[in-house]
């Protein structure tokens, strides 16, 4: 999750001014904390001086300082990183929707570089990388001990060049090498499928600068076509997150009031809360959100906001649990510091960090092999299949209107060759989407039930 870069000039000025006041007014009463910090800095400076003067070979001072900063940040969480100038420049372009690279979101799990999700339609996706893959080598070199930034730097390169990733996956006996050709990554963050009869399926692959805008455009086009919107499925599976503001904007589209998300940093009394506003809110049609164990960060904020405000039913698997806030500070030499500054909380005060979002309805995502085995291979006989059965009213009317010649041999043949529509393909191939669709269609009936004591 990323916020806008902070203005380092104003921060530096504030520190200098504050420090000057303390020096003038309280020079003889410096706190023990400040003394301890000063002694630690003295120690660092002394070691640096010894290395510069007596190391067996001449050293690059900037390289030593950068290394010292990286070592310091390794003591913190894996999302806090130092970004050298060349990496910070690339980082600034990653949320625009187009950048060079592989199209892969990675994290550190138990010290192992792990794929959160390959972004759809990118080189990594097309090469067959999957969520949960462990990246153990980059171009033959081990990733053990690398930070996220260092690993990302090794994976990046010129457009058209090839990077070889050693991947270990459940079911592999040993790591396998995936050769991926680097390319320009153009992210299409919203994908639309018309489920017919007023229902819509929207898949969000990430949260970039135009995600909310594209989502509104698809909804507008759908309503123009069908005159109504009876229900919506929002698919956040394998969505690694992105921009906070986009998750907030999309949440606000479906909420008239209430909290969307809150953040709390080191000072528990300083709580930042973002609220929904009524203008621009869509009418109250039912929504089902699908999540899985790779739905992270902004995905969890959207799911948590609609779940706690009772605006959507959450279905699928518990989400990833990335609920920390990172602010990016641009430093004087063009480098940057990505620093974890707070935790995210859902409207009901639940921490997302390490906990994730627990779905209202748990539904496993069966793969195609399981679904094929589960399908009934033979046709079940019913009353209407018995020769000489008593005709039903609809059946009798249909028979009287048909030609006396029944081309029974052609019907099965033509129906078996009939191509499936996009929504039919989606529903038949994706078990979780099919279950979400069934819930949407039954929504009004379920709400109409009454209970008695």
Of the listed 308, 330, 335, 430, which one is catalytic?
308
For the segment 76-117, what is each residue's pLDDT rounded down to a tens digit? 998 898 988 888 877 776 555 555 578 888 888 888 999 987
Residues 219-261: tens digit of each pLDDT: 999 998 888 899 999 999 999 888 889 999 999 999 999 999 9
pLDDT at 18 over 50: no
Q: When comparing pLDDT for 270 and 19, which is higher? A: 270
pLDDT of residue 4: 41
Helix orientation angle between 244-254 and 298-308, rounded to the nearest 10 degrees: 20
How far apart CA 292 and CA 294 sit, in angstroms, is 5
Region of residue 204 (left: phi > 0; alpha: psi -120 to 50; beta: else): beta
Higher pLDDT, 355 or 159: 355
Instruction: Give the count of beta carbons closer than 10 Å to the beta carbon of residue 432.
Output: 21
Query: Does the active-site annotation cover 297?
Result: yes
Q: Among this protein's residues, is 322 annotated catalytic?
A: yes
- Looking at residue 28, the DSSP 8-state letter turns out to be T
CA–CA dist 431, 373 (Å, integer): 13
User: Alpha-carbon distance 287 to 431, whole Å?
Assistant: 17
345-403 pLDDT, tens digit each: 999 999 999 999 999 999 998 765 555 555 555 566 777 778 777 888 887 777 766 55
The answer to whether residue 1 scores a pLDDT higher than 50 is no
Report pLDDT for 355.
92
Residue 117: what pLDDT?
79
**% of the chain beyond a pLDDT of 90:** 50
**What are the structural domains of the chain?**
100-186 (2.30.42.10), 190-324+341-362 (3.90.226.10)
Cα–Cα distance measured from residue 71 to residue 439, given in angstroms and rounded to the nearest whole number: 50
- What pLDDT does 96 receive? 53
Residue 96 neighbours by CB under 8 Å, 6+ apart: 208, 209
- Mean predicted lDDT score pLDDT of the chain: 82
Q: What is the pLDDT of residue 5?
A: 38
Enter the tokens of residue 439: 């819930």
Quick: pLDDT tens for 404-413.
555 444 455 4
From the candidates 322, 324, 330, 338, which is the catalytic residue? Answer: 322
| Annotated active-site residue in 297, 299, 324, 335 | 297
Using pLDDT thresholds of 50, 70 and 90, give the confidence band for residue 6: very low
- pLDDT tens digit sequence for 23-56: 333 444 445 656 777 888 899 999 999 999 999 9
Got the DSSP string for 211-258? HHHHHHHHHHHHHHHHS---EEEEE-TT---BBHHHHHHHHHHH-SSS
Compute the chain's Rg from CA coordinates.
28
Note if 77 is an active site residue: no
170-203 pLDDT per residue, tens: 899 999 999 999 887 777 899 999 999 899 999 9
């Amino acid at each position: 999750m990323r916020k806008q870069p902070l203005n380092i000039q104003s921060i530096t000025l504030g520190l200098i001014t504050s420090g000057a006041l303390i020096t003038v007014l309280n020079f003889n009463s410096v706190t023990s904390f400040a003394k301890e910090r000063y002694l630690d800095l003295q120690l660092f400076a002394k070691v640096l001086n010894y290395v510069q003067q007596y190391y067996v070979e001449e050293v690059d001072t900037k390289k030593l300082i950068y290394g010292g900063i990286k070592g310091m940040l390794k003591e913190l969480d894996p999302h806090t990183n130092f970004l050298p100038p060349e990496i910070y420049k690339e980082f600034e372009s990653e949320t625009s929707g187009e950048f060079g690279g592989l199209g892969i979101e990675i994290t550190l799990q138990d010290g192992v570089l792990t794929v959160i999700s390959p972004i759809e339609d990118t080189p990594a996706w097309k090469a067959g990388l999957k969520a949960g893959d462990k990246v153990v080598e980059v171009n033959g070199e081990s990733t053990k001990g690398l930070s996220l930034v260092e690993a990302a730097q090794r994976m990046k390169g010129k457009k058209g060049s090839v990077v070889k990733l050693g991947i270990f996956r459940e079911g592999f006996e040993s790591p396998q090498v995936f050769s991926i050709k680097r390319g320009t990554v153009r992210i299409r963050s919203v994908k639309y499928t018309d489920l017919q009869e007023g229902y819509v399926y929207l898949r969000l692959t990430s949260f970039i600068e135009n995600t909310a805008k594209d989502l509104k455009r698809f909804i507008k086009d759908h309503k123009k076509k069908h005159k109504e919107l009876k229900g919506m499925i929002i698919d956040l599976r394998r969505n690694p997150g992105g921009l906070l503001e986009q998750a907030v904007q999309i949440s606000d589209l479906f909420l008239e009031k209430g909290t969307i998300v809150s953040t709390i940093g080191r000072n528990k009394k300083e709580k930042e809360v973002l609220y929904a506003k009524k203008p621009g809110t869509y009418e109250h049609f039912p929504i089902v959100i699908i999540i899985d164990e790779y739905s992270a960060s902004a995905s969890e904020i959207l799911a948590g906001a609609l779940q706690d405000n009772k605006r959507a039913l959450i279905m699928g698997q518990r989400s990833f649990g990335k609920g920390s806030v990172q602010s990016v500070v641009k430093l004087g030499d063009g480098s940057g510091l990505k620093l974890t500054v707070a935790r995210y909380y859902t409207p009901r005060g639940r921490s997302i960090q390490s906990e994730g979002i627990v779905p209202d309805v748990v539904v496993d995502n069966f793969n195609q092999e399981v679904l094929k085995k589960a399908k009934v291979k033979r046709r079940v006989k019913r009353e209407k299949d018995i020769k000489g059965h008593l005709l039903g009213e609809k059946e009798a009317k249909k028979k009287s209107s048909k030609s006396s010649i029944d081309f029974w041999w052609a019907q099965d043949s033509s129906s078996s060759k009939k191509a499936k529509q996009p929504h039919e393909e989606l529903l038949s191939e994706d078990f979780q989407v099919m279950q979400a669709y069934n819930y949407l269609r039954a929504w009004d009936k379920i709400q109409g039930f009454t209970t008695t004591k």
